Amino acid sequence: MNRRTLLLGTGAALAAPLALANRQALAQQATITGAGATFPRPLYERWAQAAREAINVQLNYQSIGSGGGINQITARTVDFGASDAPLTTEQLTERSLLQFPTVLGSVVLSANLPGVADNALRLTPEIVVDIFLGKITRWNDPRIVEANRDLRIPNLPVGPAYRADGSGTTWVFTTYLSRVSSEWRAGPGAGTSVRWPVGNGARGNEGVSNIIRNTPGAIGYIENAYAVVNRMATTQLRNKSGNFVRPEPPAFNAAAAAADWSVPNFAADTIDLNGATVWPITSPTYILLPTNPPADKVEASRNTMRFFDWAFRQGSDIASRLEYIPLPAAAHDLVRAAWRDRVKTPSGSAVWTA
Amino acid sequence: MSDIAMRPGAAPAMGARRTAGSLGDKLFEALCKGAGVLVLLTLGGIIVTLFIGALPAFRHFGLGFLVSTNWDPVEGREEFGAFISIFGTIVSSLLAIAFAVPVAFGIAYFLTELAPPWMRRPIGTAVELLAAIPSIIYGMWGLFVLVPFVQMNIQLAFGETLAAIPLVGFLFESRSFAGTSLFSAALVLAIMILPFIAATMRDVFEQVPPVYKESAYGLGATRWEVMRGVVIPYTRVSVVGGIMLGLGRALGETMAVTFVIGNANRMPQSIFDPSTTIASVIAMEFPESLAGSLQQSALFAIGFLLFIISFVVLATSRWLLRSRLKA
């Protein structure tokens, strides 16, 4: 409660002089506010810049974390919330929210093994699980050697690194581990933060990357966008079809194409999908939009949909450049249909009519 | 002030201010009283807010919350216990005190007894400047400089030798080689609280009446004998009070510790193992906790416990320092 008031207060204080100065210039411009996940922040900010010129919608996005985004949209202090993990049907009904995906993100594994080239190391799901369960403690473990006959892997202790701050990235990675291992599912489980049996925790992608860079033998999971920009050495991973795949755009796009987007609430499962070239650890990031906007919020609700409609039509290049994976066009159409059918004005008519 | 009063032009202004005096005095008194009451209200409000937020967790887990080592925020099997974070908080702070006190004593002894007068001020100022560095800077410095140093030059260099020591060797035996550990956190904390302890020690050492020390020197005591036989017994309680002040700061430090402690909700087996503190857990998990969830309540609950621990430590230090200053 207090935190929210404080946030709003600070926001208002900062915005006040700006609003005064630009009141005239902004008179024609629609402003929408959103809050939530940190993972898609670079993308939403870039989209916001482009959309301001293209469709005159000004987006103000606060990346306060998925949990904070859910809290704020539940209290209706913002126009939309953003979450990395999908909400369940009960959670959505209870809060009268519509959930739809914007893009996919992928999580990759990065290891510090001197003498091993980028994307050369091959890991199987079993090896990854046992590393994070603490069962594989040295890099010369027979199973790792077996999968990498052509590599000279240094005999170092394995140092797992994880995100200590609650994060969607952790949720995606632990969901994957739970999917491929019943032992992980019964043990630490899946969540935005879990009880890690071994390893060191750090804050954010940058903290995990720092541990990996500083510690020979360390291995951790990070967002692909961060790994690409910071040139982290990543690894191959064996997917459900039994092929070793590199964490590269074709493998991510294959995952987006293989997903079933017609499931309720778009909670499409893109983790560990079948397909020869699919990268197994990807996940959509979601927007939460009230289905029952009050009369004075109808316009903001419509503008939110206009913004994302524009992003679906024009924003895919921007997304790809920033290493996010655009959704297939069929998924975009399903989202628009959901806007039309689910989001209603107080008088019961559809907010989205395009 | 006296300059202005002596100038003839200033006299009417002085008169005018005097007539407004009685109203001004009352206003000023009311403002000051308000400020004082505001502090009390804020403090009370924080305690009440924390307690109300923590209530569901206290109800759900009872007294077991204090001793349970489970901290599992995964949805559907939430279980929370404060013991690991309390343990990490207290152990990292006590280790920091153990590292900082000898150095702080050295600084204070040097500044009051040994240093030539021209050196006292620059060194004293440098020590106080350490206190002015924001904690996030200590965190970054700790992560990028201290942690690799601990990893390469302490843990890898001496870890196995230390682990071979009979009886206490297990304290140094660790399978974690990332360098972020209880030990790194204690080192960073030690540097952060050093100026507080050193400044308090210097101030109380200076309060020792010169005649006591001169008498001891007159009897032929050496400098060290004067320190041990006169200065320390005279200032003992205040020194402990200063240490408690440093301890209070170490307990609540958040960002610097979070960067270097490794954030592991597991019981550390050695000082080179990663651990966590109450402040770190709150900083890491609060943003992703849902309003009204058991997790958020548990975070409030450990915050409340930290408040109590810090309050006890600070109250003890105040009490120790006050009894000395009155005497």
CB contacts of A207 in chain B (<8 Å) are 143, 259
Same domain, B92 and B56: no
User: Which member of A165, A196, A215 has the closest CB to residue B151?
Assistant: A215
What's the pLDDT band for B325 if we cut at 50, 70, 90?
low
Q: Rounded distance, CA A300 to CA A31, Å?
A: 7
The answer to the question of residue B35 being in a domain is yes
Q: What is the DSSP letter of A264?
A: G
Residues A242-258: what's their mean pLDDT? 93
Please provide the distance, in angstroms rounded to a whole number, between the alpha carbons at the two ends of chain A. 37
pLDDT confidence band for B324 (50 / 70 / 90) = low
Residue B71 covered by a domain:
no
User: Domain containing B118 — which CATH number?
Assistant: 1.10.3720.10
| Average confidence (pLDDT) over A81-93 | 91
Selected residue with higher pLDDT from B204 and B169: B204
Shared domain for B150 and B186, answered yes or no, is yes
Residue B294 located in a structural domain: yes
Tell me B110's DSSP state: I
Number of domain units in chain B: 2
Q: Could you tell me the pTM of the whole model?
A: 0.83
Residues B184 and B246 in one domain: yes
Q: In chain B, which ranges are E strands?
A: 71-72, 79-80
Residue B70 included in any domain: no
pLDDT at B3: 46
Q: What percent of chain A has pLDDT over 70?
A: 92
Which residues in chain B have their CB less than 8 angstroms from residue A66's CB?
288
Mean pLDDT of B41-45: 94
pLDDT of residue B164: 85
B244 and B277 in one domain? yes
* CATH domain A28-104+282-342 topology: D-Maltodextrin-Binding Protein; domain 2 (3.40.190)
Which tokens in the block code for residue B310?
């810090």
Chain B: give the shortest CA distance to residue A152, in Å: 21
State the pLDDT at residue A251. Answer: 94
Higher-pLDDT residue of B76, B99: B99
Per-residue model confidence (pLDDT) at position A8:
47
Place of tokens 């058991």: B294
pLDDT, tens digit, for every residue of A288-334? 999 999 999 999 999 999 999 999 999 999 999 988 999 999 999 99
Find the mean pLDDT for residues A54-58: 92
Q: A63 burial class (0-12, 13-18, 19+ CB within 10 angstroms)?
A: buried
Is the pLDDT at A85 greater than 90? The verdict is: no
* Block residue for tokens 């079948």: A274
Q: Other C-beta atoms within 10 Å of A248: how many?
A: 16
Residue B303: per-residue pLDDT: 95
Q: Min CA distance, A201 vs chain B (Å)?
A: 5
Mean pLDDT rounded to a whole number for chain A: 89
Q: Which residues of B touch chain A, with CB atoms under 8 Å apart?
A: 49, 70-77, 143-144, 147-148, 151, 175-180, 258-259, 262-266, 274, 276, 280, 283-285, 287-291
Average pLDDT over residues B17-40: 86
Mean pLDDT of A29-57: 91
State whether B173 and B31 are in the same domain. no
ipTM: 0.80
Where do the domains of chain A lie? Answer: 28-104+282-342
Where does the pLDDT of residue A28 fall: very low under 50, low under 70, confident under 90, or very high at 90 and above?
Answer: low
Domain annotation covers residue B78: no
Cβ within 8 Å, pair A66-B288: yes
Angstrom distance (rounded) from CA A179 to CA A186:
11
Which of B176, B277, B286, B288 has the highest number of chain A CBs within 10 A, making it the mutation to test binding with A?
B288
Overall average pLDDT of the A23-37 stretch:
74
Contact A193 B285 (CB under 8 A): yes
B77 neighbourhood in chain A, CB within 8 Å: 189
Q: Which residue from B70, B264, B291 is facing A201, i.e. has the nearest CB? A: B264
Is B72 within a domain?
no
**pLDDT higher for A271 or A16?**
A271
> With an 8 Å Cβ cutoff, are B177 and A159 in contact?
yes
The dihedral sign for the CA sequence A296, A300, A301, A302: positive
**Predicted confidence (pLDDT) per residue in A201-210, tens digit:** 998 888 999 9
Distance CA A266, CA A104 (A): 12
Give the model's confidence band at B131: pLDDT under 50 very low, under 70 low, under 90 confident, else very high: confident
Q: State how far the Cα of B65 lies from the Cα of B83, in Å rounded to an integer.
A: 8
- Give B180 to chain A, closest Cα distance, Å: 7
* Chosen from A66, A94, A192 to mutate, greatest number of chain B CBs within 10 A: A192
B113 sits in which H/E element: none
The amino acid present at A47, given as its one-letter code, is W
User: Per residue in B223-278, pLDDT tens?
Assistant: 899 999 999 999 988 898 889 989 999 998 888 999 999 999 989 989 999 999 99
Let me know whether B178 and B304 are in one domain: yes
Least confident of A231-240, A327-336, B140-149, B167-176: B167-176
Model pLDDT, residue B254: 86
B10 and B118 housed in the same domain? no
Q: What is the pLDDT of residue A23?
A: 46
Q: Which of A278, A249, A260, A328 is nearest to A176 (CA)?
A: A278
Q: Are residues B110 and B259 in the same domain?
A: yes
Q: How close A8 gets to chain B, by Cα (Å)?
A: 16
Cross-chain CB nearest to B177 (options A191, A196, A217): A217
pLDDT at residue B5 tops 70: no
Report CB contact under 8 Å: B180, A211: yes
Task: Provide the shortest C-alpha distance from residue B176 to chain A (in Å).
Answer: 7
Gyration radius from chain A CA atoms: 21
The answer to whether residue B155 scores a pLDDT higher than 90 is: no
- Across chain B, mean pLDDT equals 87
- Domain with B44, as residue range(s), is 2-61
- Check: CB of residue A98 under 8 Å from CB of residue A289: yes
Domain shared by B18 and B159, yes or no: no
A40 three-class SS? coil
The answer to whether the CB atoms of A165 and B177 lie below 8 A apart is no
Burial letters B16-36, b for 16+ CB under 10 A, else e = eeeeeeeeeeeeeeeeeeeee
Whether residue B37 is found in the same domain as residue B112: no
Tell me the nearest-neighbour CA distance from B49 into chain A, angstroms: 9
Same domain for B134 and B30: no
